[in-house]
Amino acid sequence: MVLAHYRLTVGQNESSGTDRINLVIIFGGQSAEHDVSCSTAAHVMKAVNPDRYTVTALGIDRTGQWHLAESAMAALDQGPDAIPAQLEASGRSVSSALALSAASASGATVVMPLLHGPLGEDGTVQGLLELLDVPYVGAGVLASAVGMDKALSKDVLARHGIAQPRYVAVRDSDISPSRLEQIAAELHYPIFVKPANMGSSVGVSKAQDVAELQGAANFAMTYDEWIVFEEAIVGREIEVAVLGSHRPQASVAGEIVPGHEFYDYEDKYLSDGAQLMIPAPLTEDQSSQVRQLAIEVFQALRGEGLARVDFFFEENGRGFLCNEVNTMPGFTPISMYPKLWMASGLNYSDLIDRLVDLARERHSRRRRNTVH
């Protein structure tokens, strides 16, 4: 019944623009998730409808320099099969603002900032696009910034009464042996330690004792000055994809059985060792509950366009606990977000169309509210 429902509803667009669009894909970036972004962008370029989009690819290298990725666009002209599995953020150097302005000056334009992690997914690039008055896919400045920061997003979700694992957020300057002892007494081992502003499990460790806790904190501090300490949950890992704006929709739920001790970077992007079960083996009531929770999380953070909401499921305990929100989930071939929507009746190419339509609708709505 769930799959039939989604096949009937996910195609209903809030904006049904069918004219040809300049689709500007931004990828790469300076974060530790640079390679994930390059892979995501390649997969999106393979799937775009050539009859609807003219694609411009802009790569940001690891130093922050922007490039017109001419080799990627040349490969696209030869057909999807010519596009490499991972794009290179290289080519003719360009000014970010001039490149985006030039693309938008030639007609209807939508930007897909396929950037993961800091300086891309955290509201920085979104702010640039707002200043340039260009429609873009995904969350706005506020939701991107809060969604990227695990400490702040957890505080917001707590304010909305959404159940989560117990956590403590600490700034690096406040981490000391005595503070770590307090954290261990409050959360109990094992404890997960995470940089607040990072994704794809980068910088995440699991500590079993005080020595490992100090080491994990030191490791996390190489990625961010805010560190999140979180109780380890014994439970199933459930993920839901959310799509929309005023009336967001939730996909069927999926379950991840990690190939390693936890669902780490290698599991997500390199080894394909994790087992993905779509739909997740949940009862109808459980499935309905977690999908509704995903929408509530999305709305609490003022999400737009898309997000993947991750939960732990304590079957004989607290039920569904929100782990984190990803406002720009990966689109690699083994990523959960597109797989969940494909299982819900929305294929990859149509998913891109839907995101583009949502970006244009949001831009039009925001212009009405900000320009008088």
Taking only the tens place, the pLDDT of each residue in 28-78 is 999 888 998 999 999 999 999 989 999 999 999 999 999 999 999 999 999
pLDDT at 15 (0 to 100): 42
Lowest-confidence segment of 22-26, 135-139, 273-277 by average pLDDT: 273-277
pLDDT tens digit sequence for 149-158: 999 999 999 9
**Domains annotated on the chain, with CATH:** 11-137 (3.40.50.20), 147-163+234-348 (3.30.470.20), 167-231 (3.30.1490.20)
List the alpha helices (DSSP H) in 87-123.
96-105
Distance (Å, whole) CA 372 – CA 198? 38
pLDDT at 5 (0 to 100): 35
pLDDT tens digit sequence for 232-266: 999 999 999 999 998 999 999 999 997 655 544 45
pLDDT at 214 (0 to 100): 97
Q: How many CA atoms lie within 13 A of 25 on its CB side?
A: 30
Asked whether 147 and 327 are in contact (CB, 8 A), the reply is yes
**What is the value of pTM for the model shown?**
0.88
Asked whether 160 and 300 are in contact (CB, 8 A), the reply is yes
The per-residue pLDDT of the chain, averaged, comes to 89
Distance (Å, whole) CA 250 – CA 292? 7
Q: In what order do the strands lie in the sheet with 191-195?
A: 167-171, 226-231, 191-195, 205-207
Residue 117: pLDDT above 90? no
Confidence of residue 14 (pLDDT cuts 50, 70, 90): very low
Distance (Å, whole) CA 26 – CA 24? 6
Give the strand pairing for 109-113 and 21-28. parallel
